[in-house]
A = this chain, B = another copy of it.
Amino acid sequence: MYKNINFRTDLADERADIYKKSNNIENNIDGIETQTREDGNIKITEVKITNENGEKAIGKPIGNYITIDINKLKVATDEQIEKYGDILSEELKKLINNHVTKEEDILIVGLGNIYVTPDSLGPKVINEIDVTRHILKYMPEVLEKGTRSVSAISPGVLGTTGIETLEIIIGIIENIHPKLIIVIDALASRSMERISSSIQLADTGIVPGAGVGNTRKEISQKTLNIPVIALGIPTVVESAVLVNDCLNLFIEKLQEEAKSNEYLNQLKEKDNYEEIKEALIPKDYNMIVTPKEIDELIENMKDVVARGINYAM
């Protein structure tokens, strides 16, 4: 019997790694196919969950999960940003083509709060999307024949609207009938290294705010009856995660210096996240943190994602 794991990460590739390590599995997990490609600064990891075994193993529904890792986005040039956008576009196109034909309607949904910088990626991308739905409706003659109908919306967040995002999306779908939805969200990352440097694509939907502990209603084919591609980018990290990561690095350093002891070694072996989290709560330290340069990172990410989506349409 395999161990029950609290993954604490949304990334399917990280989950697969953790699962294999925990269970000492050398080869592939049954029901999970993993592939990695590299291209310059960029690593693309594809995880395909093909059956219920795979589903159970890493706690993610059957479907495709693609992670694009971009390093050094903070110092990216215009040319690099364009290249990243083009790579994203390629991957996105493949996922879209799995689910709809070239002309079927797509609705892009940008989750998040435009007034909170680390949460503003979704609304900012929406502003850059080349929408065509209204032109097809009112002036079809100015567009090439066969242009796909694209619409885009930024529904806001529960805290400022008072309305569940899912309720808003359902309402819109019932009126405009898209065939596929792409949801963009800023995620809470489980690792400082991933902040603004990973893009995750999945054709299995999203639970907004899942990372931040404010679970909202799932946005997926199950709740919407049409396929949902989620495009998520980590922009914040929980302080308990940061401390847990750092505690391990610190103990490692003590071990290297032969200053560690049995107890610390054990501490490192087990996962202290829950206990750290509890220790921080009374002090209100259990906050979300984000790097100081988040404004610039978000701007660059917005350019990458907007280009990726526009070119994929």
Contacts and interface: CB of A to CB of B under 8 A. Distances in A.
Contacts of A42: none
A289 B242 contact: yes
A247 interface: yes
Contacts of A242: 239, 242-243, 285, 289
Interface stretch (A29-37, A47-55, A162-170, A200-208): A162-170
Contacts of A150: 162
Contacts of A126: 156, 160-161
Interface string A164-207: 10011011111110000000000000001100000000000000
**How many of these chains are in the complex?**
4
Residue among A118, A171, A176, A263 facing the most chain B CB atoms (10 A cut-off): A171
A84 to B, nearest CB: 14
Nearest to A252: B279
Contacts of A170: 171, 175
Given A117-B117, A253-B275, A285-B192, A160 B127 contact: yes
A291 B284 CA distance: 12
B163 A176 contact: yes
B287 A292 contact: yes
Contacts of A287: 192, 291-292
Nearest to A114: B114
A276 B246 contact: yes
Contact of A279 (B116, B132, B246, B290): B246
A292 B118 contact: yes
Nearest to A131: B162
Contacts of A261: 261, 263
Interface string A123-143: 000110101111100000000
B171 A295 contact: no
A117 B116 CA distance: 10
B295 A115 contact: yes
Contacts of A226: none
Nearest to A135: B162
Interface of A: 78, 82, 114-119, 126-127, 129, 131-135, 149-156, 158-164, 167-168, 170-176, 192-193, 236, 239-240, 242-243, 245-247, 249-250, 252-254, 261, 263-264, 272, 275-276, 278-280, 283-285, 287-296
Given A117-B294, A167-B176, 8 more contacts: A115-B296, A116-B293, A116-B296, A163-B172, A170-B175, A171-B174, A193-B284, A290-B292
25 contacts: A78-B78, A115-B127, A117-B117, A117-B294, A118-B292, A127-B160, A129-B160, A134-B158, A152-B160, A153-B163, A153-B168, A167-B172, A171-B175, A192-B283, A236-B292, A240-B246, A242-B289, A243-B250, A246-B280, A250-B275, A250-B276, A263-B263, A287-B291, A289-B290, A290-B291
